[in-house]
Amino acid sequence: MKIFKFGGASVKDAESVKNVSMVLQSQGFTKCLLVISAMGKTTNELEKVVELYFKKDNYQTEIEKIKRKHIEIAEGLFPENHAVFAEINVFFDDIDSFLRRNKSPNYSFVYDQVVSCGEMISTKILSEYLNEIQFPNQWLDARDYIKTDNSYREGNVDWTKTEEFISSLNTEICYVTQGFIGSDDNNFTVTLGREGSDYSAAIFAYCLNADAMTIWKDVPGVMTGDPRKFSDVTLLSNISYEEAIELAYYGASVIHPKTLQPLQQKAIPFYVKSFVDPTKEGTKVGASDKNQHEESYILKENQVLLQISTRDFSFIAEDHMSLIFGYLSKYKIKVSLMQNSAISLALCLEDKFNQVDELNDELQKIFKTKAVKNVSLFTVRNAKMDHIDKFYQEKNVLLEQISKNTVQMVTQ
């Protein structure tokens, strides 16, 4: 089987949905499973619904706006009496009904039950459209196949159960399913983390022993830098799993960090290609004697630099480190870069759930801390050290780290 993943930009409106069918036509629509994200900015819009709900504000108006958008997309794809319109109404009625019944104060739990509806609706629309134009497929609810724990908003996959369920699928037909979501033992929805649809595709690829997995983006492939942030970037046509994992870890937004490991374990080739021009080569990730090691640039914005030291100028020892990382885990805060000396520890942090203030409050009971918000982490991978000075131009560098072929700096 082949696994194709289409992100929100590739299904943002009726014309984009039609373009997906053109991409499939160019690739051959047989024995494949499509993993689809929510349409356009729907995830952001549903996040706003959850915020309004917890503020006890008028979230119903926001739901109605999102529903209207999806109906307009469907009107550009289906005749007016098509059953898909009733399906769309049911999904949005379910959101409203859940929020009216809900008694849980757990923000992350409510978030997952609401925000996941974006993927449910987008896949239903795409699946129905493909069937309408004679691309036969079966719609799957990913929550019946990807099983997780109850770490809402950051679900951990139960690989034993997930592989058992997914491997039961008929690999002779085509499917359309959702990215980003799974379910726990109580069948409540659990999301896999923001931008987790790539990871969903890799889970299906791994469990189905897929021939290949392709992510369709609005860029030509993996570039040596984000063309919106850096000039003179070029396409990386072939890179190894290891290089792709490093780029993703450092923050290359074109690949989700968790995606590569399941594919590498079974040596499943991974492609990043453009849905704008599907005939172009794109990037191949896998084992190859053509793999490149080009100088690449990554900018992770909206980071927090947290500097920690002991109150009595004693060493930052193993017991201190264990305590600090326990708090990081508690607040689901990721470390992008760390540097320690005898009496201090500097951490560049990614605070996805806006909990760094709570973390800082906990640490200040024991340590002296200083938090600098809205910093950026600039990484140069495969850096050419003979012209390293150019990376420091016009930057206020708060922290730097240089290894054999990687330069990293926290800047303000």
Residue tagged 């520890």 (tokens): 345
pLDDT of 139: 98
Q: Are 106 and 158 in contact (CB under 8 A)?
A: no
Residues 6+ apart with CB under 8 A from 92: 63, 66, 67, 70, 117, 121
- Eight-state DSSP code of residue 383: -
- 265-284 pLDDT tens trace: 999 999 999 999 999 999 99
pLDDT given at position 41:
96
- Written as one letter, the residue type at 299 is L
Does the annotation list 8 as a binding residue? yes
Q: Within 10 Å of residue 283's Cβ, how many Cβ atoms?
A: 24
Contact (Cβ atoms closer than 8 angstroms) between residue 196 and residue 256: yes
Q: Which two tokens stand for residue 8?
A: 């929100």
Annotation-wise, does 394 bind a ligand?
no
Which three-class secondary structure state does DSSP give residue 409? strand
Provide the 10 A C-beta neighbour count for residue 366.
Answer: 14
Tell me which DSSP letter residue 315 carries. Answer: -
7 is in an annotated binding site: yes
Q: How far is CA 18 from CA 13, 32, 50, 125, 135, in A?
A: 9, 18, 31, 11, 12
Cβ atoms 204, 210 nearer than 8 A? yes
Encoding tokens for residue 55? 């503020």
Reference 131, options 81, 173, 188, 72; nearest CA is 173
Q: What's the pLDDT at 209?
A: 97
What per-residue string of b and e applies to 57-89 under the rule 16 or more CB within 10 Å gives b? eebeebbeebbebbeebbeebbeeeeebbebbe
6 near 20, Cβ under 8 Å? yes
All domains of the chain in start order, with CATH: 2-217 (3.40.1160.10), 296-411 (3.30.2130.10)
The response to whether 143 counts as a known ligand-binding position is no
Q: How far apart are CA 361 and CA 356, in angstroms?
A: 9
Angle between helices 117-132 and 59-75 (to 10 degrees): 10
Distance (Å, whole) CA 409 – CA 412: 10
Tokens of 379: 């990484």
Query: Phi-psi category of 302—alpha, beta or left, where left has phi over 0 and alpha has psi -120 to 50?
Result: left
Per the structure block, which two tokens stand in for 15? Answer: 């014309």
349 is written with which tokens?
A: 């942090």
- How, if at all, do strands 334-340 and 344-350 pair? antiparallel
The contacts of residue 121 (CB under 8 Å, 6+ apart) are 38, 39, 42, 70, 88, 91, 92
Q: Identify the pLDDT of residue 188.
A: 98
Cβ neighbours for 117, distance < 8 A, ≥ 6 positions apart:
46, 91, 92, 94, 95
Pairing of strands 189-191, 181-183: antiparallel
Q: Which H helix or E strand runs over 112?
A: helix 107-115
pLDDT score of 404 = 82
**Cα–Cα distance for residue pair 384/73, rounded to 1 Å:** 48
Burial category of 267 from C-beta neighbours within 10 Å (exposed 0-12, middle 13-18, buried 19 and up): exposed
For the chain, 412 residues long, the average pLDDT of each consecutive 10-residue run is: 96 98 92 97 97 97 98 97 97 97 97 98 98 96 98 96 98 97 98 91 98 94 91 93 88 83 94 94 89 92 96 88 95 94 93 94 95 96 86 90 91 93
Name the amino acid, one letter, at 309: S
Q: Is 43 annotated as a binding residue?
A: yes
Q: Please choose, from the candidates 327, 329, 328, 412, the residue with its C-alpha nearest in 3D space to the C-alpha of residue 372.
A: 412
Whole-number Å distance between alpha carbons of 327 and 229: 33
Residue 6 marked in a binding site = yes
**98 annotated binding-site participant:** no
Residue 308: CB atoms within 10 Å: 23
